Amino acid sequence: MNAPATDGRAARSRATRARVAAAATRLFTAHGYTATSIQAVAREAGVATQTVYYAFGNKPAVLKEALDQAVAGDAAPVATLDRPWVRAALAAPDAREQVRLQVEGSGKVMERVAPLAEVVRGAAGSDPELAELWRTNIEQRRTVQTVFARALAERGALRRGLEVSEAADTALALLSPEVFTLLTVHSGRTVEQWSAWARDAVLRQLTHLADAPADR
C-alpha cells in the first residue's frame, strides 16, 4: 500500500540530487571548488541550502556526486561496467572493434568528466576528502581498463609479453581526463581528432593489430 508513495519520494530525491549535481558542475567548473559555496549551489539548483546539506552533508560530497553523475551520464545507480557502451565494447566481434567502441564511449564520458576532473585534481592537494576522491576515481578507472585489457588478452590481441596489468595502466594513461584536456583544450583538437589519436594509440601500445590491415 505504501510502495507508490515510497517510489515517489525516491524519484523526487533522485531528481533533486541530479539538479544539485548539475548546478554544482556548472559552478565548480566556472568558478572553482574553493570559490563555490553550498549556498551558491543551492541558489543555482533552485533549492534550499538546508536541502543540499540534508541530501549530501558537505561540499566534498556534492562534488563527488557531480563527478559520479558526470561519469555515468545520469543519476541511475548503474555501475560503469554495466553501462551499455561498455557491454557493447566487450561484446564486439573482434578486438579492433572493441577498441573502437571503447574509445568512442570513453570520449563521451571524457566530454562530461574532464572539466570536473580538473576541479577535483586541483583541489585534492589541500583537501583530504578530495584527495581520497581523486584516488578512488583513478582506481575505478583502472578497474574498468583492466576489464578491457583482459578482454583483449582473451581475444589473443595483446602485444606479446604485455601483462594485463601493464596494458590496463597504459590505457588508463592514454584515456585519462588529463590527456583528453591537454589535447582538446590546450592543443585545440576536436573530440573526433582525439578519438582518432586515442584509437591508434591504444592499438599501437596494447595490441599487435596496429600495422595489420583493418576490415573496411
CA-only gyration radius of the chain, Å: 19
- 2: pLDDT strictly greater than 80: no
Quickly state the pLDDT bin for 4 (edges 50, 70, 90). Answer: low
Predicted local distance difference test score (pLDDT) of residue 13:
79
- 15: pLDDT strictly greater than 90: no
Which residues have a Cβ under 8 Å from the Cβ of 49 and sit 6 or more positions away? Answer: 38, 39, 42
95-121 pLDDT per residue, tens: 999 999 999 999 999 999 999 999 999
Nearest CA to 180 out of 115, 122, 128 is that of 115
Predicted local distance difference test score (pLDDT) of residue 216:
40
Predicted local distance difference test score (pLDDT) of residue 102:
98
Element (H, E) at 187: none
CA distances 51 to 35, 57, 60, Å, are 20, 9, 15
117-175 pLDDT per residue, tens: 999 999 999 899 999 999 999 999 999 999 999 999 999 999 999 999 999 999 999 99
pTM of the model: 0.88
- 74: pLDDT strictly greater than 90: no
Which domains, and CATH codes, for the chain?
A: 1-58 (1.10.10.60), 78-216 (1.10.357.10)
